[in-house]
Amino acid sequence: MYYNSILETIGNTPLVKLNAVPEDLEGTILAKVEYFNPGQSVKDRIGLKMIEDAEKEGLIEPGGTIIEGTSGNTGLGLALAAAVKGYKCIFTTTDKQSKEKIDLLRAMGAEVKVCPTDVEPDDPRSYYSVAKRLSEEISNSYYPNQYDNPSNAQAHYETTGPEIWDQTEGKITHYVAGMGTGGTISGTARYLKEQNPDIKIIGVDSDGSVYKKYFETGEFDKDEIHPYLTEGIGEDIIPKNMDFDILDEVVQVNDKNAFITTRRLAEEEALFVGGSCGAAVYGALEYARNNSFEKDDLMVVILPDSGTRYVGKIYNDEWMREKGFLESEN
C-alpha cells in the first residue's frame, strides 16, 4: 500500500492517555496528538480543505498564489497542499511568532512577511490587513481568511469530530480545545454534540484575549486585550468560525502556566508539543478539578502542534528565565 501524495496522510491522528500530568484526577484524559499530521499540526486539516473548496468554487486557477495571515501552522498546512498542487504562497505573520515557524514556511517555498503584533487589527500594518491588501493587488490569488472561512470549521466537522467519536467508541464526556480561529473547537464540537448533546465543550483562551469575557458577558471589551506570548490561541477579534453558543465553559490560561505545562508534557509524558498544547492541558486540568469530573468520565484534549516550532523559546531555559517563567537555574 502507498499514498498518492503526502496530503492523503492528513488526519487519523492517535489518542494517547495522559498518565502523569493529571496526577490525582480520577477520570480518563486523552490527548489527540495532532503532530502526527505531515506538517506536524492540526492546521494541515484546514489547509487542504480550504484549498480544495476554493478549487471547487473556481476561486483559484492553476499556477495561482495563496495569500494568508497566519501564526505559522495554517501557513504550513496551506504550503503543504500548495506544493503538491503547484501554487505559490505568500504568508503574513506577526513578530511574536517563533523563528522556527517562519523558517519552516520559507523552507516550504513560501514568501513570508513579518508584521508588528502590537497594532489594531484594522491597522494597515497588521498581518490581517497586509494579507488582505496583497490578495487584492496580486492577480489569480486566493485569500482563504481562516478566521471567517466556513471550510475551516467544516474540516473539523468532517474529520476531527468523527475520529474522536470513533476512537472513544462514543464514550467521550468532555472535549477541550484552544480557541484561536474557532474552527478546531467549533467544528469538532458541532459534530460531537450531534452525537451526544450532553458532551461538555470547554474552550481554552489565553490571558490577554477577548474570548473569555465575550463568552461570559457578550461584551467585546478592548481593555481585556494585552500582549501575551502563547501562539495560536486567543484573539483581539471575533472570527465567524468561533461559535460561542456551542461552548459550556471557557478557561483562561496565562503564559507561565501554559509553558510550564508544555515542558511537563515533554518530560513526564514524552509528548513534545507546543505552547498552546500546554495551555489546553492546563485548562483541561483546571476545569476537571473545579467541576464534576468522575471515574467514568472521558475527556479528550486537542494538542495542536509539535514542540519543534518552539525549541528556541519554551524549551530554552535562558529564554524562559528571561521572561520570568523559570525562577532558578534548575
What is the rounded CA–CA span in Å between residue 268 and residue 33? 15
Give the position of cell 483562561: 252
Give the position of cell 494585552: 226
Say whether 44 sits in a helix, a strand or coil.
Answer: helix
The DSSP result for 20-73, as a single string, is STTTT--SEEEEEEGGGSTTSBTTHHHHHHHHHHHHHTT-S-TT-EEEEE-SSH
Say whether 275 sits in a helix, a strand or coil.
Answer: helix
Query: φ and ψ at 90, to 5 degrees?
Result: -130, 125
The DSSP result for 104-146, as a single string, is HHHHTT-EEEEE-SSS-TTSTTSHHHHHHHHHHHSTTEE---T
Q: Which of 277, 243, 246 is nearest to 260 (CA)?
A: 277
What is the rounded CA–CA span in Å between residue 38 and residue 168? 23
DSSP 8-state symbol, 60? S
What is the rounded CA–CA span in Å between residue 74 and residue 302? 16
Q: Which of 43, 49, 101, 313 is catalytic?
A: 43
Which amino acid belongs to residue 246?
Answer: I
How many CA atoms lie less than 13 Å away from 305 in the CB half-sphere? 28
What is the rounded CA–CA span in Å between residue 137 and residue 119? 22
What is the rounded CA–CA span in Å between residue 158 and residue 89? 26
* Relative orientation angle of helices 99-107 and 73-85, to the nearest 10 degrees: 10
Q: Which of 233, 227, 248 is nearest to 178 (CA)?
A: 233
Is 213 considered catalytic here? no
- Known catalytic residues are 43
